[in-house]
Structure 1
């Protein structure tokens, strides 16, 4: 036990303790759950003095002291004094063990902490630790219209970490400050969490146990609490997507659900309880033929233990800090300061950009954005390239869905490509490459992009022109599609129809270069843009197929080489 805790107690101190106390010190091989009750009680109403003694005094609840006495007597067999409701334990070893659990001799009340070792313990150990804390520093408050279970402490760290420990049992709480920052109160106020506290933690104190029972006996009916509802901001788009995805009309749904409730929920006028969400989804599930993705998400949300809390405030912490990208295998999620966080890194911002969402990137020094990406962007990512095909080495499971939405290009560094790159680099250094046109091209594209997105600076000066898509564009894409499918021997394909849509988008984007060519109200598809777009389609289909066919052969057959 001493070795597992790294107590820093020398063998000489152990010998001295044994000889002074006149009896041996028993040390269990593992930390028993009941010992954590003793640790919690010491954290609450105990103290450690400089003479390496532990004192616990609970005059209102003598049974707490008696239980602590039985624990240390049965587990350790150390010397103690018990008189007038006060327990004094004389043991340097036991003091050393208790200190490892965040209890210090000096300024104990304000320096109390919950070390990582407690968070890693089994639930039974954590439950005993919390019971010891709440038995000594906890209280049950009964009000005319409800009540609460609370814990008072002078340590902000202890208050915040007790809040996290309670969340392990699905118990939600709030931390309140006295205002001067010298006292904190962890308060469990909602009915469901109080019931969970009674089942998972509870009290050993007869007085507090009786008061908790009186509080619970006042509750009748179904609990209605803010922590067990899905906010309107989340529920509204989800319910609309569920109904739309399953193809169910509002009039049909009204036969099974109240019209007013459905309207309020779908239009985000009110939040919805998980009980009502589950009922709503059960009705839709009976009326639908197959589960769409939003319905699957809704089912999981209705049955999940997830709780929603409104963000009260945000603040920027200025300065230079070391930051990390954290990737957790298998689950891909982790808990950070009580928040469920998805793997960090490049994937989430990239996903937002590809869905034309707004990216706002905040650093310690400045805020970058918000930006909405409505054009193509270039991304390089790690792959393992083989003789035929490649394998993505990005570990995030969401990346495959993102890569499927990309224009995928694979360039091998062959001898020929190496020579071309090396020669261009030399020409650039010697000034043989003419770069004057680069700025003009960039300015031209920037202006056209601003016109087509109706930027306020140019909206009234230049007319927005849509791209005119003709049957010829779709015929060329279809011709390329048939040539590709005829070349691939296998029945199953490794790419999706999204390739055709992206090819058409690319053709339209490249045709924007022709904005100023004529005064027509629409921009005609440029022949060169059409040719390049179809080439991209063929080459990407080959890459997605792990190069099971030669794209150059298909391109020659289509007359695009």
Structure 2
């Protein structure tokens, strides 16, 4: 039998409402505790039932209630949570929702989305000698925390109502433009993730909501090696990439969804512009502006006067 601490907010609310309904029927506190145990498989003491029914104690007084009705901001937060976002329950009772990323615009948008949900946030730049500096934004709210950690269907329902914002949150996290510029010039958009359920849902959203077709490819098997900052590790999951590969669909993605990150969006728009001209000229102009690095093409630094 579960304890009250193991219930999420919605489960606790149902238990409290049921206890009050039974009390209104004239049932004793001891009997109510027994009935609650049978119906919800949760242990509640007689004194707790009594305090609830008499209005002497309400656990929700300590919880800041926010609206979790489908909205653009909630859909964006869900997309980020399913991508680069993280959740942590601290010992001091705080329920943290957090994002760290190198692109300030991305993190600021996540911060603004949390604030639209009436969640106070902190925002700043984290310095780390072992890696590139990253921006961060975080907020604390038990309702949102438990919602994000709850059934996947409730997240997908919000995403389906606000597909653009959901996809923006997800692609801002784990999506990127891929440019091939050696013997030919090709522009694609990719999304890397290990969650097949999420990727299959994303495929469906892109196709049914935007008419964008994709191809899902497994890139790494669990246990295969990977080198990160000079250290070799092994994948602990299978990895996949969802490709938007048709040029017209890549253009539709850029126009109707796009990236919040200026770095990613400008790269995608530059490549799409060059895709309209002859290949030889496109290659020349691309390499004048971009240089190939370990993680793809990056914009060349401006020449000093």
TM-score normalised over the length of structure 2: 0.58
Equivalence for 2:11:
8
Equivalence for 1:126:
163
Given candidates 164, 173, 178, the residue that maps to 1:136 is: 173
Given candidates 113, 116, 123, the residue that maps to 1:74 is: 116
- Structure 1 residue 139 displacement after superposition: 0.7
Equivalence for 2:75:
36
CA distance 1:140–1:134, shift in 2 (3 Å): same
Q: Mapping of 1:501-516 within 5 angstroms? A: none
Q: Mapping of 1:243-258 within 5 angstroms? A: none
Report the aligned-residue RMSD: 2.4
Q: Distance in 2 between matches of 1:150 and 1:99?
A: 26
Given candidates 139, 144, 160, the residue that maps to 1:94 is: 144
Q: Does 1:171 align with 2:222?
A: no
Q: Hey, which of these two has a bigger chunk of strand by percent? A: 2
Q: Does 1:180 align with 2:221?
A: yes
CA distance 1:62–1:146, shift in 2 (3 Å): same
User: How many residues are paired up?
Assistant: 194
Q: Which structure is richer in relative contact order (CA contacts within 8 A, separation 6 or more)?
A: 2
> Is 177-186 or 143-152 further displaced after alignment?
177-186
- Structure 1 residue 116 displacement after superposition: 4.7
- Structure 1 residue 83 displacement after superposition: 2.7
- Structure 1 residue 27 displacement after superposition: 2.5
CA distance 1:158–1:114, shift in 2 (3 Å): farther
Q: Mapping of 1:145-164 within 5 angstroms? A: 145-164=185-204
Q: Distance in 1 between matches of 2:269 and 2:179?
A: 11
Equivalence for 1:274:
none
1:515-552 C-alpha deviation (Å, 9 max, x unpaired): xxxxxxxxxxxxxxxxxxxxxxxxxxxxxxxxxxxxxx
For structure 2, the residue ranges without an aligned partner over 5 or more in a row are 1-8, 17-57, 126-134, 223-237, 278-305
Q: Distance in 2 between matches of 1:150 and 1:186?
A: 6
- Structure 1 residue 153 displacement after superposition: 0.5
Given candidates 190, 194, 198, the residue that maps to 2:254 is: 198
Q: Distance in 2 between matches of 1:114 and 1:197?
A: 25
**Contact between 2:75 and 2:158, CA under 8 Å: does it hold in 1?**
no
Equivalence for 2:86:
47
- Structure 1 residue 101 displacement after superposition: 6.6
Tell me the secondary structure at the aligned position of residue 45 of structure 1.
coil
1:307-349 C-alpha deviation (Å, 9 max, x unpaired): xxxxxxxxxxxxxxxxxxxxxxxxxxxxxxxxxxxxxxxxxxx
TM-score normalised over the length of structure 1: 0.32
CA distance 1:13–1:215, shift in 2 (3 Å): farther
Q: Distance in 2 between matches of 1:220 and 1:192?
A: 11
Equivalence for 1:17:
63
**Contact between 1:9 and 1:93, CA under 8 Å: does it hold in 2?**
no
